[in-house]
Structure 1
């Protein structure tokens, strides 16, 4: 049922720390590298693109992932499928994520609250329509784990990618390209673009060209920071992302949503304490 107040931003704050486990915990990379992959970026692309199977070309993965610079995806896809299989990558990713979650949660991993939160979060996640959400739809087609920690992680990942698919729609609607999206985010938090993790490895000329293009559109000023128009663009992107992320939570009653929030708060806090957010 629709809720009287928007809940997507509040739920993002609670779900995102769980969804970051594949990227900030060591165990998922270790599990994927053990399959014979050559680097952590091999592990990233194999783990995240595995729901699409081995036949999806790099160009399509690039389109779905949206925010990588041209050519970055093609350095890993389809090469990683010469080293392992999507099925093995999916199993390793889940195994590593569960191990990382258990390490961070400690004794709380056996708390019945984990299962309760996972069940409610999964109810929300599987209720959302898949139309226009390619990565969410691919994940939605996978079997749901039964073990409580794995179930909680799976639900959080579904919701993170559901939101991410909507975020790409919002960026596209504003005419913000993939690399531009990282510049927009970095500058919105007063971080020079060259110091943002997903941009710092780019050749200086390539990053300069991206920023110059945003400057020509009035998003970045001569001082290198966002203009009022740039900040307004960022705010519209985030507002539309939130609106597009509301649908899953309409499957929960107000009481269920309250129980989910209360259950996730201490769980999420445990991850926020160890992840750089």
Structure 2
């Protein structure tokens, strides 16, 4: 199972990352009126959760400094509906994938099969404890094969990230029970090996 998961990561992660590193999605979000990259990022990625407060988005993402989400949510949704941001993110990301693949591959039977298989996997995983993934499951699956491939790959990425966040929280709780105090947080974050934390008597 671990081998399969790693293989899927290697195949699907590059498809998802166009959203963050290629130009098209950012340009689509900017065209909507999002002032900064982070306005568009939070507005579009968190939109499947609904119009929730910043505290909910912060808890779901679990990887940003306190107060960072509140700089963008809910203000980014006040003039631009979440649904519009989701659509811009998807449209721009699919355009990036199509550009990178080229029209011939993007329109091939092989890509359609890849999109179908990825969609089958992405719509079959359990939603328990996977907040971001469950939110994406509520969105309609695109009919265009390239968009469907990106959408389904991104659903699987959110499923994996939800799992990593849960694992990270468990790690921090275990470290706190074992060591206590700030050094437990360092161990839970993985910044300092547990054996080092355990051996270090100095205050954090």
Specify if TM > 0.5: yes
Which of 145, 169, 177 in structure 1 is aligned with 2:142? 145
Unaligned runs of 5+ in 1: 177-211, 231-277
SS in 1 for 2:41: helix
Change in CA separation of 1:123 and 1:218 when aligned onto 2, cut-off 3 Å: closer
Alignment map for 1:99-248 (pairs within 5 Å): 99-106=95-102, 107-175=104-172, 213-214=182-183, 226-227=192-193, 229=195
8 Å CA contact retained: 2:34, 2:40: yes
Distance 1:128 1:218 in 2: 30
Q: Gapped runs of 5+ residues in structure 2?
A: 174-180, 197-204
Kept in 2, the 8 Å contact 1:102–1:109? The answer is: yes
- 1:16 and 2:33 are equivalent in the alignment: no
- Is 2:58 the partner of 1:69? no
Q: What secondary structure, in the 3-state scheme, does the structure 1 residue paired with 2:111 have?
A: helix
Closer/same/farther in 2, CA of residues 217 and 119 from structure 1, 3 Å limit: closer
Query: 1:228 deviation in Å?
Result: 6.5
Q: CA RMSD in A?
A: 2.3
State whether residues 24 and 95 of structure 2, in contact with CA within 8 Å, keep that contact through their aligned partners in structure 1.
yes
Q: Is the 8 A contact 2:172 2:187 kept in 1?
A: no
> What is the rounded CA distance, in whole Å, between the counterparts of 2:69 and 2:186 in structure 1?
27
Match for residue 80 of structure 1? 76
Any idea what SS the aligned residue of 1:37 has?
coil
Within 1, Cα distance between the matches of 2:88 and 2:187?
45
C-alpha deviations, 1:207-232, integer Å up to 9, x for none? xxxxx945885679xxxx744647xx
Aligned length: 188
Q: Which runs of 4+ in 1 moved over 6 A?
A: none
Deviations 1:171-205 (A, max 9, x none): 011008xxxxxxxxxxxxxxxxxxxxxxxxxxxxx
Q: Specify the SS of the correspondent of 2:123.
A: helix
- Alignment partner of 1:144: what SS? coil
In the alignment, the residues of structure 1 paired with residue 78 and residue 169 of structure 2 have an alpha-carbon distance, to the nearest angstrom, of 33
Rounded Cα–Cα distance in structure 2 between residues aligned with 1:18 and 1:120: 15
TM-score w.r.t. the length of structure 1 is 0.63
Q: Which has the higher contact order (CA 8 A, sep 6+)?
A: 1
Mapped to 2, the partners of 1:51 and 1:218 lie a distance apart of 32
What is the correspondence of 1:89-104 to structure 2 with a 5 Å cutoff?
Answer: 89-104=85-100
TM-score with structure 2 setting the length: 0.85
